[in-house]
Structure 1
Amino acid sequence: MGIETVLDMASSAHPDRIVVGRRNSGLTCRQLGDLASGGATALRDHGAGHVVFVGVNGPVLPVLTFASARAGIPLVPLNYRLSDAQLCDLVAQLDRPVVVADPAYAGKLARAADIVLTTDDFLDLARQVGPAEFAPAPDDATAIVLFTSGTTSAPKGVVLRHRNLLSYLFNTVEFASAGEEQAALVSTPPYHIAGMGAVLSNIYAGRRMVYLPDFSPQGWLGLVRDEGVTSAMVVPTMLARVVEHLGGAPAKTPTLASLAYGGARMPQPVLERALVAFPTTGFVNAYGLTETSSTIAVLGPDEHREALADPALRGRLSSVGRIVPGIEAQIRHDDATVLPDGATGLLWVRGPQVSGEYMGKGTVLDDDGWFPTRDRARLEDGYLYIGGRADDTIIRGGENIAPAEIEDVLVRHDAVREVAVIGLPDDEWGERICAVIVPESAEQLEPEQIRAWCRERLRGSRTPDDVVFVDDLPRTPTGKLVRRDLVSQVELVQLV
């Protein structure tokens, strides 16, 4: 059984319900199924070994998702923001690629594959050709390949098999649970696991998907209001921009019952302001990785509101919540010893939705099926706290220091808009701590003010040795900090 079964089940339950697009002009479940069947025939007729998608969010994504699954061909959404050379390099790693791209990107992919179709051409073909007979996709066949963002190393193609994705879906989403009036606003990009997860989970639940191709706070709020959006998913940078745009005013989005966020660390002050701006909305922190087929821990709406109301529980807002059903988690020392509750170490997870497999490289699961996330974390009273990537740990004088510990303190300074803490080489200490700050205003800040703020709230060994002010921090489109670029940027500033 493959992920195409999700659409088959939904079509049987509510064939005439609009599931993709605007209320008055979207695709019904039946129409989506017809397009997917025609698209599968077209992809097979073109001899595709992989289907590459390069484009923004839109109705073509669910069509391609189920067309490729029905044809038994892996779908590979790529980051349309990459350079021509980077895109061509990734496509070159794939067997018999057929590229489907938005017209704006089709031209720069002309040399990447023998067959390059615009999204319009593909949809026309899907409408014209008839459905063909296809055997169900085997559980262990590859459904989707997603390339990692490459924030710490070269991008790797994560292999997600049908069984991984279906396990995530069946354990976290109730079939046909959405009412006809419910609509989900999807603004996370197609090449992100949240973008692909949104297709599967919303179709399975029977919830209409509304796409926002190019994010802006005004456009996002406008679409929520105009389309009666009841649920949405954002990355932290998006929520920060929405909160900043509101400027302390209420959001006035009465239909928005659920707002999920994830993909990167959420600054707690931004979250607290958002909870005030959206007083009737249930917030959900969804933590997961590409390699885990999306969410593996959730902090739910009631837990958000309880933590906001009770200062004794406020710190829980910095957690990613509780482990979801079907997933096991362990915190391990560097030597693989399992650590007790409350201790910080490396997060390992296990479960049927966990892939841990990379294209051309094989699996990184250990002999017992555990996946090393490379995130530093702790489990405390059943809640999971993420301290950042293991590669980001600063080793100063033999002491391991998590940048997140210092960032969480600095971001509460009124004059700090954004902050990232990095380690720089030091002859005496091995590494020294450098706080890189985007100030809230053009008013001059003194580095010693920042150091004093930290010294009052943290141990002396956590006080930044250097403080550097910049206009912005290098991030991926989904909000992840690219620390290697930041280190190069700071080193260049210090040389000038």
Structure 2
Amino acid sequence: MGIEMVLDMAASVEPDRIAIGRRDSGSTYQQLVDTTARGATVLREHGARHVVFVGVNGPILPVLTFSAARAGIPIAPLNYRLATDQLRDLVAQLDRPLIVADPAYLDKLTGAAATVLTGEQFLEAARAAEPAECVPTPDDATAVVLFTSGTTSAPKGVLLRHHHLTSYLFNTVEFGSATAEHATLVSTPPYHIAGMGAVLSNIYAGRRMAYLPDFTPESWLELVRTEGVTSAMVVPTMLARIVEHLDGATAGTPALASLAYGGARMPQPVLEKALVAFPDTGFVNAYGLTETSSTIAVLGPDDHREALADPALRGRLSSVGRIVPGMEAQIRDEDDVTVLADGETGLLWVRGAQVSGEYMGKGSVLDADGWFPTRDRARIEDGFLYIGGRADDTIIRGGENVAPAEIEDVLVRHDDVREVAVIGLPDDEWGERICAVIVPSHDDHADSEAVRAWCRERLRGSRTPDDVVFVDELPKTPTGKLVRRDLVSQLTLSESA
């Protein structure tokens, strides 16, 4: 069964329910079926083997996703923020692409493929086409190609096959669970697994999708209120900006029943303030990777409120929750073989039907038993999964492994710290020295030595930063992931200048 059946199932139950857009002007499920059947014809007539989308998240994304699925070809949403040569390089890796792009990005893509259309041009062509004949898509065909963000290496094209995505849906989402009053606000980028997951999971649940292409705290809150949004997902930087904008006030979003977050580490002080600002909202921490077709662990609403209410459980707010049904997890030693005991920190490996672990042109990285190496440092304690950052981020100081997250979790609680990243810099004596890079919360902040002294009271001496540097901002991806390699390069260059 291909993912196009997800839309057909939803339309068969509620054909006249609004699927995408505003509640007074959106498209129904049946209209979406009709449009995507005609969109599939457009793709077949052009002989496309891939659909490339370059643009912000909006109603065109589900149209292209299901049009591609009906045509039996993958969709590849690309990061519209990339430089022209980077975008064109990714397009060149795809066989016979048809590009659909927002007008703002057409100049970057002219000549990159035989056909380059705007979203409106694609819709016009679809309206003039006949509906494509329904041909079931094989389970093992590729449905989506997502290029990893490349925070530690060049982007790799992850192949998500139809059976990976449907396995994720069947195990984690209840079909038709939404009512006509339910609406979700989608503000995650289309080239991120959360953006693609939002299309599939909300259609499967029968939930209307409203869109916010350009995020600001004010516009996000306004849309939640005016559209009666009942669920939303944000990345940590978005939630931090919303909390800062509210400045201690409550959000005033009574309809918002669920607020999910993920994509990067969430500073615990930000989360604690958000739980107070949204007292009637259930918070969900969703942890997943591109290679796992979205969520593999969830910290649910009850977990959040219990941890906030009980100081003995407060540490659970820094976890990503429990492994979802259909998935297994192991913590292995650095040898990638030895399975560690409960509470020990090592490398996270996962297994399940939703896991791909397959890269375009590179094949699968699953081991002989189907386990995928996430390369995240982690531990499992009392059934809760704690992520300690990427294995590549580990600082080796004097032969001792230091996880940046251990130090960041302490520093972020300093009153003068808005954001912090801990990195390793080259050092002749220690191999690497620990550097804390801080975005201060106000102009009149503590000096470097005062921050180091504060850390020394709360951390072992070997964990106290050797250097403390203050900056205006940290380099991040659009989904809020810290790009440590850029930070290391910046500080290494500044030292050598």
Where structure 1 has 5 or more consecutive residues not aligned to the other structure, the ranges are none
| Structure 2 Cα separation of the partners of residues 339 and 320 of structure 1 | 19
The answer to whether residue 265 in structure 2 is matched with residue 289 in structure 1 is: no
| Structure 2 Cα separation of the partners of residues 286 and 333 of structure 1 | 25
Partner of 2:370: 369
Once the two structures are TM-superposed, the CA of residue 445 in structure 1 deviates from its matched residue by 2.7
Question: Is the contact between residue 52 and residue 97 of structure 1 (CA under 8 Å) also seen in structure 2?
Answer: yes
Partner of 2:83: 83
The answer to whether residue 317 in structure 2 is matched with residue 317 in structure 1 is: yes
| Structure 1 Cα separation of the partners of residues 374 and 406 of structure 2 | 19
Question: Is the contact between residue 298 and residue 322 of structure 2 (CA under 8 Å) also seen in structure 1?
Answer: yes
For 1:255-283, what per-residue CA distance to the aligned partner results, in whole angstroms no more than 9, with x for missing partners?
A: 00000000000000000000000000000
Question: Is the contact between residue 77 and residue 145 of structure 1 (CA under 8 Å) also seen in structure 2?
Answer: yes
Name the amino acid aligned to 1:377.
A
Tell me which moved more, 344-353 or 484-493. Answer: 484-493
Partner of 1:200: 200
Tell me which moved more, 96-105 or 382-391. Answer: 96-105
Partner of 1:133: 133
Question: Is the contact between residue 474 and residue 482 of structure 1 (CA under 8 Å) also seen in structure 2?
Answer: yes
For 1:48-103, what per-residue CA distance to the aligned partner results, in whole angstroms no more than 9, with x for missing partners?
A: 01100001111100000100000001000000001111100000001001001111
| Structure 2 Cα separation of the partners of residues 418 and 293 of structure 1 | 29
| Structure 2 Cα separation of the partners of residues 425 and 486 of structure 1 | 13
| Structure 1 Cα separation of the partners of residues 317 and 56 of structure 2 | 32
Partner of 1:388: 389
Name the amino acid aligned to 1:342.
G
Question: Is the contact between residue 52 and residue 77 of structure 2 (CA under 8 Å) also seen in structure 1?
Answer: yes
Once the two structures are TM-superposed, the CA of residue 398 in structure 1 deviates from its matched residue by 1.3
| Structure 2 Cα separation of the partners of residues 9 and 110 of structure 1 | 38
Where structure 2 has 5 or more consecutive residues not aligned to the other structure, the ranges are none
For 1:343-362, what per-residue CA distance to the aligned partner results, in whole angstroms no more than 9, with x for missing partners?
A: 00000000000000000000
Once the two structures are TM-superposed, the CA of residue 217 in structure 1 deviates from its matched residue by 0.4
Partner of 1:245: 245
| Structure 1 Cα separation of the partners of residues 231 and 240 of structure 2 | 18
The answer to whether residue 116 in structure 2 is matched with residue 116 in structure 1 is: yes
Name the amino acid aligned to 1:447.
S
Question: Is the contact between residue 468 and residue 490 of structure 1 (CA under 8 Å) also seen in structure 2?
Answer: no
Partner of 1:30: 30
Once the two structures are TM-superposed, the CA of residue 493 in structure 1 deviates from its matched residue by 3.1
Name the amino acid aligned to 2:121.
D
Once the two structures are TM-superposed, the CA of residue 287 in structure 1 deviates from its matched residue by 0.1
Name the amino acid aligned to 1:312.
A
Please give the residue correspondences for 1:240-389 in structure 2 after superposition, counting only pairs within 5 Å: 240-335=240-335, 336-389=337-390
| Structure 1 Cα separation of the partners of residues 408 and 110 of structure 2 | 44
SS of corresponding position for 1:481: coil
Tell me which moved more, 234-243 or 443-452. Answer: 443-452
Please give the residue correspondences for 1:216-231 in structure 2 after superposition, counting only pairs within 5 Å: 216-231=216-231
Tell me which moved more, 363-372 or 119-128. Answer: 119-128
Name the amino acid aligned to 1:458.
L
Partner of 1:52: 52
For 1:388-432, what per-residue CA distance to the aligned partner results, in whole angstroms no more than 9, with x for missing partners?
A: 000000111111110000000000000001000000111111111
Question: Is the contact between residue 147 and residue 158 of structure 1 (CA under 8 Å) also seen in structure 2?
Answer: yes
Partner of 2:186: 186
Q: Between the two proteins, what is the percent identity of the paired residues?
A: 80
Please give the root-mean-square deviation of Cα atoms over the aligned residues, in Å: 0.7
| Structure 2 Cα separation of the partners of residues 451 and 66 of structure 1 | 54
Tell me which moved more, 442-451 or 252-261. Answer: 442-451
SS of corresponding position for 1:33: helix
| Structure 1 Cα separation of the partners of residues 214 and 33 of structure 2 | 26
Partner of 1:72: 72
Partner of 1:211: 211
| Structure 1 Cα separation of the partners of residues 431 and 342 of structure 2 | 30
Once the two structures are TM-superposed, the CA of residue 444 in structure 1 deviates from its matched residue by 4.4
Name the amino acid aligned to 2:308.
L
For 1:316-351, what per-residue CA distance to the aligned partner results, in whole angstroms no more than 9, with x for missing partners?
A: 000000000000000000112000000000000000
Name the amino acid aligned to 1:111.
G
For 1:178-217, what per-residue CA distance to the aligned partner results, in whole angstroms no more than 9, with x for missing partners?
A: 0110000000010000000000000000000001001100
SS of corresponding position for 2:457: helix
Once the two structures are TM-superposed, the CA of residue 134 in structure 1 deviates from its matched residue by 3.5
Structure 2 length-normalised TM: 0.99
Question: Is the contact between residue 51 and residue 73 of structure 1 (CA under 8 Å) also seen in structure 2?
Answer: yes
SS of corresponding position for 1:457: coil
Question: Is the contact between residue 88 and residue 111 of structure 1 (CA under 8 Å) also seen in structure 2?
Answer: no
Question: Is the contact between residue 450 and residue 467 of structure 1 (CA under 8 Å) also seen in structure 2?
Answer: yes
For 1:211-266, what per-residue CA distance to the aligned partner results, in whole angstroms no more than 9, with x for missing partners?
A: 10011000100000000000000000000000000011100000000000000000
Question: Is the contact between residue 16 and residue 28 of structure 2 (CA under 8 Å) also seen in structure 1?
Answer: yes
Structure 1 length-normalised TM: 0.99
Partner of 1:431: 432
Partner of 2:235: 235
| Structure 2 Cα separation of the partners of residues 444 and 185 of structure 1 | 37
Name the amino acid aligned to 1:472.
E
Once the two structures are TM-superposed, the CA of residue 17 in structure 1 deviates from its matched residue by 0.2
| Structure 2 Cα separation of the partners of residues 432 and 104 of structure 1 | 43
Name the amino acid aligned to 1:403.
P
Once the two structures are TM-superposed, the CA of residue 490 in structure 1 deviates from its matched residue by 1.4
Once the two structures are TM-superposed, the CA of residue 364 in structure 1 deviates from its matched residue by 0.2
Question: Is the contact between residue 38 and residue 127 of structure 2 (CA under 8 Å) also seen in structure 1?
Answer: yes
| Structure 2 Cα separation of the partners of residues 102 and 128 of structure 1 | 21
Question: Is the contact between residue 416 and residue 445 of structure 2 (CA under 8 Å) also seen in structure 1?
Answer: no
| Structure 2 Cα separation of the partners of residues 282 and 107 of structure 1 | 43
Once the two structures are TM-superposed, the CA of residue 492 in structure 1 deviates from its matched residue by 2.9
| Structure 1 Cα separation of the partners of residues 53 and 407 of structure 2 | 39
| Structure 1 Cα separation of the partners of residues 22 and 348 of structure 2 | 41
